[in-house]
Amino acid sequence: MLLAPVLIPAQEASAPTKRTPGFYKDLYMDSGINLTSRKRLYAAEALGLSMEVYYSAPHGNGGTLSAKDTAEQAARFAGCETDENGVLLYPDGAPRFRAIYVNGGHAKHHGLSLTKQGVEHVRQFVAAGGSYVGSCAGAFISSQGSVHDEKPIPHYFQVYPGVVHNTWLSDAWTGIRLEKNSPLLQYDDFGGDMYVDSVRHNGGCFASTAKGEMPSGTEILARFEYDDSQRPGKQKIDGEPAVWAYKDGKAGRVVVTGSHPEIKAEGENLALFRSMLQYALDGCGTLKVKGELKKGEIRFMKKRIGDHDPQFACIGDLQYHHFTVNIPGKARNIKVILRCKKEGIDMNLMMRKGDFAFADEADYKDLTPGASKTLAFDSLPGGVWYIGVECATTVEAVETDCGVEYTGNLEVLNGIPYSIQVTWD
């Protein structure tokens, strides 16, 4: 019998958009230094995704980069005093967004501008389960480098462990034909002919086997259709991989293209890029348990990202931490105790038998305002119970001339410390 009442605030039911639990938002768009300074992403809008973006001053069209651009980009990707993890990561190194999209531009220069720490944060984002989408330069920088590079490029993300080949084709339009069993077909039939006409291409790449077979886990999703006779003696691209994906175990899925379907606001170009985003989002890494709670032991979650101890890290904004506890069938007077001393913070506590406990999928929960919570029971069915802790407090995102900046309760960025304990007689 439950002793403590379960209260659910009215605002939960009236939330305008359904958020994927455990993430701050769906997508982060990198329009940074030496990339296209894109502010909108039509496919993300079509899917109704929540998104944030960083964009630098436009380059190549009379725009100039400044120390301001460098500082703003570093604060977001490499981290800063108020956000040591950087915008992509939670305090335990888990992905704060479901996916990142990297625009076209100049891959090598962008990688250098991110700094070693910024590049490492993107790698950690994918390794921890965040997915990656890229076009043109975004495909280049996802790889180990070009077939012409003697060794892997250190300032590339290397989240796709294969190499790419430059098409040497600029200011052009190509066809793209989907593979017969392409997983993108689960999201759109592309007019029934599995063909996308007139896709912008400007110096992009294709996945290559020039240095050996493609890495295990690589999928060819679509191939170029192009009349190579238009440029005799040049690199042939007809039939080469135009869109490909890669996934390794619990890491996020990488989905990239050497072309630019993202520029179109309608038609099959939009459908192609929308499907790429969907496939990436469906490939996020699996949920992880922080640890098993033992009877009476207090588990302190207070480490920061620099402590390199993710199993005992603070919790970030809108993040979930998951635990398990094995409760004997004869246990009585059971209590699940969440303690947090921070003022102005709301924490949620959930409990579920045999599976992960989220606010919408819990047997018992306390979503009332405040940080410290206790769920109390006379008895419970014996077995493994999952306990979910959510930090329901987040920052305010304010539009600026470079995307968004955060205001409000900024301490959630470096994480909120708390303790969790389960007791019984």
Boundary of a domain, candidates 228, 251, 281: 281
pLDDT greater than 70 at residue 53? yes
Q: What is the mean pLDDT of residues 268-278?
A: 98
- Could you say which DSSP state residue 61 is in? S
Is 380 within a domain? yes
Taking only the tens place, the pLDDT of each residue in 282-310 is: 999 999 999 999 999 999 999 999 999 99
Q: What is the mean pLDDT of residues 267-275?
A: 98
- Which of 67, 129, 172 lies closest to 282, judged by CA? 129
pLDDT greater than 50 at residue 8? no
Is 11 within a domain? no
Is 10 within a domain? no
The DSSP element (H or E) to which 13 belongs, if any, is helix 10-13
pLDDT greater than 50 at residue 42? yes
Query: Listing from the earlier edge strand, what are the strands of the sheet with 298-301?
Result: 298-301, 418-423, 334-339, 373-377
**Average pLDDT, rounded, for the chain:** 93
Burial annotation 72-87 (CB, 10 A radius, 16+ → b, else e): bbbbbbbbeeebbbbb
Q: Is 234 helix (H, G, I), strand (E, B) or coil?
A: coil
Amino acid 60: pLDDT: 46
Q: In this prediction, what percent of the chain has a pLDDT beyond 90?
A: 90
Domain that holds residue 187: 25-281
What are φ and ψ of residue 135, in 5° steps? -130, 140
The DSSP element (H or E) to which 198 belongs, if any, is strand 195-201
| Cα distance between the two ends of the chain | 15
Amino acid residing at 366: D
Amino acid 316: pLDDT: 98
Amino acid 4: pLDDT: 36
Residue 6 banded pLDDT, cuts 50, 70, 90: very low
Both 358 and 228 in one domain: the answer is no
The partner residues of 27 in beta bridges, in order of sequence, read 51, 99
**269 to 108, 194, 222: CA distances (angstroms):** 27, 12, 13
**34 to 65, 142, 196: CA distances (angstroms):** 9, 15, 28
- Domain total in the chain: 2
Q: What's CA 180's distance to the chain center, in Å?
A: 28
Q: What is the CATH number of the domain that holds 183?
A: 3.40.50.880
Amino acid 3: pLDDT: 36
Q: In this prediction, what percent of the chain has a pLDDT beyond 70?
A: 94
Both 344 and 271 in one domain: the answer is no
pLDDT greater than 90 at residue 58? no
Q: Is 72 helix (H, G, I), strand (E, B) or coil?
A: helix
Is 9 within a domain? no
Q: What is the CATH number of the domain that holds 361?
A: 2.60.120.380
Q: What is the mean pLDDT of residues 130-155?
A: 96
Both 341 and 264 in one domain: the answer is no
Is 40 within a domain? yes
Both 242 and 119 in one domain: the answer is yes
Residue 163 banded pLDDT, cuts 50, 70, 90: very high
Burial annotation 307-331 (CB, 10 A radius, 16+ → b, else e): eeebeebbbbbbbbbbbbbebeeeb
Taking only the tens place, the pLDDT of each residue in 192-209 is: 999 999 999 999 999 998
Q: Which two tokens stand for residue 214?
A: 């493609």
Both 212 and 276 in one domain: the answer is yes
What is the maximum span of the chain, computed from C-alpha positions, in angstroms?
82
Is 16 within a domain? no
Both 172 and 37 in one domain: the answer is yes
Both 63 and 211 in one domain: the answer is yes
pLDDT greater than 90 at residue 7? no
Residue tagged 């997915």 (tokens): 131
The DSSP element (H or E) to which 273 belongs, if any, is helix 267-281
Q: Which two tokens stand for residue 193?
A: 């002919």
Both 172 and 305 in one domain: the answer is no
Is 8 within a domain? no
- Residue 341 half-sphere exposure toward CB, CA atoms < 13 A: 5
pLDDT greater than 70 at residue 2? no
Both 306 and 410 in one domain: the answer is yes
- Rounded to whole angstroms, the Cα distance separating 296 from 273 reads 51
Both 265 and 293 in one domain: the answer is no
Both 55 and 90 in one domain: the answer is yes
Residue 11 banded pLDDT, cuts 50, 70, 90: very low
What are φ and ψ of residue 111, in 5° steps? -60, -45
- Rounded to whole angstroms, the Cα distance separating 361 from 348 reads 13
- Which of 201, 113, 214, 97 lies closest to 162, judged by CA? 214
Is the dihedral angle over the CA atoms 269, 275, 276, 277 positive or is it negative?
positive
Both 303 and 250 in one domain: the answer is no
Is 207 within a domain? yes
Boundary of a domain, candidates 281, 305, 333: 281
Taking only the tens place, the pLDDT of each residue in 360-416 is: 999 999 999 999 999 999 999 999 999 999 999 999 999 998 999 999 999 999 999
Residue 211 banded pLDDT, cuts 50, 70, 90: confident
8 Å CB contact between 118 and 135: no
Q: What is the mean pLDDT of residues 51-57?
A: 92
Q: What is the mean pLDDT of residues 157-161?
A: 98
Rounded to the nearest 10°, the torsion over CA 181, 187, 190, 192 is 60
Taking only the tens place, the pLDDT of each residue in 232-259 is: 999 999 999 999 999 999 999 999 999 9
Residue 57 banded pLDDT, cuts 50, 70, 90: confident
Amino acid 59: pLDDT: 54
Boundary of a domain, candidates 253, 281, 309: 281
